[in-house]
Structure 1
């Protein structure tokens, strides 16, 4: 049985799962679905179009599924989807989608720290950490296991690869390749995320292969298509190396150097 404060408002059309805790002054709109074992602390707003999975903890002042801050939005029926076992801290805002993609998605196992903003049609993967005050613009993609530090500004349409570390205060308008550290002003490639890769169990041999791939890409002194071909020829093939190549080949905004 769920524990719901008498000071919370829940629309009769909202669907609430089992064993949820909903604190005082929460507002839960119609066309909302909340799964099991969620904790909504006081003053959380869950608005039209929210889809929340299981086992999430949402802290005071968070707003899930507010209408997009996009002048092209015309009231279309869209969603903001949150997976399982996330921690969504104070004053986080996750806007719902627009006609562009129809939904904003935050995966599972993420920590979104205080005052993070996730804009319309964004996609945040699994097991990511997004630091205090970071702002994610519309239609961005963050792959799994990324760490984005505090007060980062991520331009619309950009992508951050998996297992990355983006330094605090960084602003960027190009893609950040997987397994790297990027920081400074202007933003630059600062090497591999060695600590993160070792914590995730990457072997020394695999880390060395990733390092060699980026050495060819960043320091090879040849055009990009030749550098990627050289990576294919000289670095032992693996899913991680293929991921790097495909990420860079598919980059639409270019990638950080």
Structure 2
């Protein structure tokens, strides 16, 4: 079994002979490493965590007790095919998190680096999670969802299968989306757009000028009463030179599930 001599493994942990354990990895009591799991250096697996199958887990991650990574997808047509789970570096994966491996549709579920998956959140089969994302407690991603860098799913909120959440977009608590959420937008309740994620944009270092550009684009698209194709053309003509606005336009035009145009006028900015 390729286990680094610097790894610290509790005697009660169960580890498959085909697992690969990197340098300075810590594996706690009663943890289970089942299958050809690869664990990068300095990752910590807390007591009782379970890792399964063809799972690649990068470096400096922390996986808390009760988390289950790489288990079979919840898909009626899955029949044990050798699909994968890929997780990057510096992720925090808290208690009770579940991440399921891919189906034959894409063969893999992928999570990037620097993400925070809070307790009891779920990443379903074939999802793609970027970098610096947050899934708060009880957040649920259906199969084949995409979460771009810096996006935020708040507590007990759900993302419909195949939906896409744009960069720095935010789904509010106890809410749901069945549609794609463009970059920098806040959605609450069910498919109700409530404004621009100004705080998230500021934290990401986006300039005030470019934030104002997104706010002006929001006004045109959600307030001026134009049809979406017309409003996008107007935004492109007036504000398309701003990178964040161009990103918003490209995302919206490519949205496979469409975007919601329903707004809460009392709260939208």
Q: Select the residue among 159, 162, 177 that pairs with 1:154.
A: 159
Is residue 23 from structure 1 mapped to residue 28 from structure 2 by the alignment? yes
CA distance in 1, matches of 2:224, 2:36: 54
CA distance in 1, matches of 2:64, 2:111: 16
* Structure 1: gaps (5+ residues): none
State the Cα deviation string for residues 139-164 of structure 1 (Å, max 9, x = none). Answer: 00000001111000111000011111
Structure 1 runs (4+) greater than 2 angstroms displaced:
none
Is residue 14 from structure 1 mapped to residue 19 from structure 2 by the alignment? yes
Alignment of 1:206-245 (within 5 A): 206-245=210-249
CA distance in 2, matches of 1:171, 1:164: 13
CA distance in 1, matches of 2:78, 2:85: 14
How many residues are matched? 256
1:252 alignment counterpart: 256
Is residue 66 from structure 1 mapped to residue 75 from structure 2 by the alignment? no
Cα offset, 1:121, TM superposition = 0.1
Query: Is the contact made by 2:240 and 2:246 (CA closer than 8 Å) also made in structure 1?
Result: no
Query: Is the contact made by 1:94 and 1:119 (CA closer than 8 Å) also made in structure 2?
Result: yes
Length-normalised TM-score, structure 2: 0.93
CA distance in 2, matches of 1:113, 1:242: 32
2:42 alignment counterpart: 37
Query: Is the contact made by 1:209 and 1:236 (CA closer than 8 Å) also made in structure 2?
Result: no
Q: Select the residue among 84, 88, 91 that pairs with 1:83.
A: 88
Is residue 48 from structure 1 mapped to residue 42 from structure 2 by the alignment? no
3-state SS, counterpart of residue 85 of structure 1:
coil
State the Cα deviation string for residues 57-101 of structure 1 (Å, max 9, x = none). Answer: 000000000000000112111111110000000010000000111
CA distance in 2, matches of 1:238, 1:64: 40
Length-normalised TM-score, structure 1: 0.97
CA distance in 1, matches of 2:191, 2:164: 14
Query: Is the contact made by 2:110 and 2:126 (CA closer than 8 Å) also made in structure 1?
Result: yes
CA distance in 2, matches of 1:16, 1:201: 37
CA distance in 1, matches of 2:204, 2:128: 22
CA distance in 2, matches of 1:192, 1:198: 11
State the Cα deviation string for residues 16-54 of structure 1 (Å, max 9, x = none). Answer: 111000001011112111111100000011101111000
Query: Is the contact made by 1:129 and 1:147 (CA closer than 8 Å) also made in structure 2?
Result: yes
Report the RMSD for the aligned CA atoms in angstroms. Answer: 1.0
